[in-house]
């Protein structure tokens, strides 16, 4: 029938995405992308297609508040088994916190379960059945009296929507890569609140060179040259290589201590930044570049911020592809 689009069949990624949504209909696109090993942009596009072509609907059943079984367990362990028991229990579903303690108990476990029956099974089959547990006492939490509603942590970056709108609304037209990368840096600093920016157009696996750096703002040449030398020598892989290989963003909350940057901790300290978010710039299946956002204070980007930042990168991907000759130029108005 003329004008009718053919509905595409579900592939393995579609089915995996539907299964993940059945498991948790409230999961964000960033969480789904991480779970499925793909990009947030791909997840967003697949969901839109599944809704339009296959009638996908997403609902979430919210448990009634106050119906959970909240427990604290005080464990006495066999000599020399305390750490082993603690690490085992910390990996179990429902466990929220595990502490090593002194005094009348060796390990304290705080957990939450959907009902009392599940809590009892956990105590009998998981806690008491562990060969390293000598005995266990349990406490059923029945109410909260005081204390903060939630622990406070490092602040996340703020998005300036007005600045982003001013930079991104309208058909993008750039005379060349220099003008384009300047616009990306403006969006990252003014719109996404980063302190520094680095745009790289070659993956480290191809032999990262100084010319691979399309634009830097606030990142010193000395830092870059030292980092590139360590990558060339095989002493460091780092964040950009991982993003280039996985085509997914990477967040480093504290670059001064994160294992991913072990070979460059001294460079990070000397440069003076703390947190880092690196995003892929993708055009279809083509990896065009990475854009790294640096923060001088300890910063924890949440999923909404990461999705917004990736959306900014996606916006500039088409312009990047045009500059590289991979996409047609926009039609002239008239």
The pLDDT of 13-40, averaged and rounded, is 81
Report pLDDT for 199.
94
Task: Tell me: pLDDT of 59 over 90.
Answer: no
> What local confidence, expressed as pLDDT, does residue 64 receive?
47
213 vs 264: which has the higher pLDDT: 264
Of 95-104, 182-191, 311-320, give the range with the top mean pLDDT. Answer: 182-191
Tell me the pLDDT band of 210, cut-offs 50, 70 and 90. Answer: very low
Tell which wins on pLDDT, 32 or 64.
Answer: 32
Reported pTM:
0.57
Least confident of 172-181, 208-217, 292-301, 303-312: 208-217
Give the span between the Cα atoms of 315 and 211, in whole angstroms. 24
Q: pLDDT tens-digit profile of 80-136? A: 999 999 999 999 988 999 999 888 889 999 999 888 888 889 999 999 999 999 999
CB 184 within 8 A of CB 199: yes
Please say whether the beta carbons of 20 and 32 come within 8 A.
yes
Helices (H), the chain: 12-23, 29-36, 40-54, 82-90, 116-121, 161-168, 177-186, 221-232, 238-246, 265-271, 303-323
Domain ranges of the chain: 12-54, 69-141, 161-323
Contact 320, 180 (CB under 8 A): yes
Q: Does domain 12-54 have CATH number 1.10.10.10?
A: yes
Could you tell me which residues come within 8 angstroms of residue 330 by beta carbon, excluding any fewer than 6 positions away?
A: 171, 172, 173, 322
Could you tell me the fold of the domain covering 69-141? Alpha-Beta Plaits (3.30.70)
Supply the pLDDT for residue 269: 92
Q: For domain 161-323, give the fold.
A: Beta-Lactamase (3.30.450)
Distance CA 34, CA 45 (A): 15
Candidates 213, 258, 211, 266; CA nearest to 239 is: 258
Residue 271: band (very low, low, confident or very high) from pLDDT cuts 50, 70, 90: very high
């Amino acid at each position: 029938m003329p004008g009718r689009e053919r509905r595409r069949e579900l592939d393995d990624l579609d089915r995996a995405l539907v299964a993940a949504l059945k498991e948790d209909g409230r999961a964000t696109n960033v969480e789904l992308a991480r779970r499925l090993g793909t990009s947030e942009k791909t997840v967003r596009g697949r969901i839109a297609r599944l809704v339009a072509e296959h009638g996908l609907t997403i609902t979430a059943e919210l448990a009634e508040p106050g119906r959970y079984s909240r427990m604290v367990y005080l464990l006495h362990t066999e000599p020399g088994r305390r750490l082993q028991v603690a690490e085992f229990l910390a990996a179990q579903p429902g466990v929220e916190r595990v502490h090593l303690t002194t005094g009348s108990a060796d390990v304290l476990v705080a957990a939450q379960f959907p009902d009392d029956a599940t809590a009892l099974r956990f105590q009998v089959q998981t806690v008491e059945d562990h060969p390293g547990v000598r005995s266990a006492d349990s406490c059923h939490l029945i109410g909260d009296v005081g204390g903060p509603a939630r622990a406070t942590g490092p602040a996340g970056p703020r998005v300036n929507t007005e600045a982003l709108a001013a930079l991104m609304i309208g058909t993008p037209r750039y005379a060349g890569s220099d003008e384009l990368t300047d616009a990306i840096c403006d969006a990252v600093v003014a719109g996404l609140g980063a302190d520094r920016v680095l745009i790289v157009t070659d993956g480290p696996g191809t032999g990262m060179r100084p010319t691979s750096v399309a634009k830097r703002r606030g990142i010193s040449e000395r830092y870059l040259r030292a980092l590139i030398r360590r990558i060339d020598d095989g002493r460091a892989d780092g964040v950009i290589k991982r993003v280039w290989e996985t085509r997914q963003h990477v967040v480093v909350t504290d670059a001064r201590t994160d294992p991913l940057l072990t070979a460059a901790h001294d460079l990070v300290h000397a440069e003076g930044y703390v947190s880092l978010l690196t995003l892929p710039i993708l055009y279809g299946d083509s990896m065009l570049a990475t854009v790294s956002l640096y923060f001088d204070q300890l910063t924890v980007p949440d999923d909404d911020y990461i999705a917004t930042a990736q959306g900014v990168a996606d916006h500039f991907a088409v312009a990047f592809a045009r500059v590289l000759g991979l996409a047609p130029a926009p039609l002239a108005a008239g």
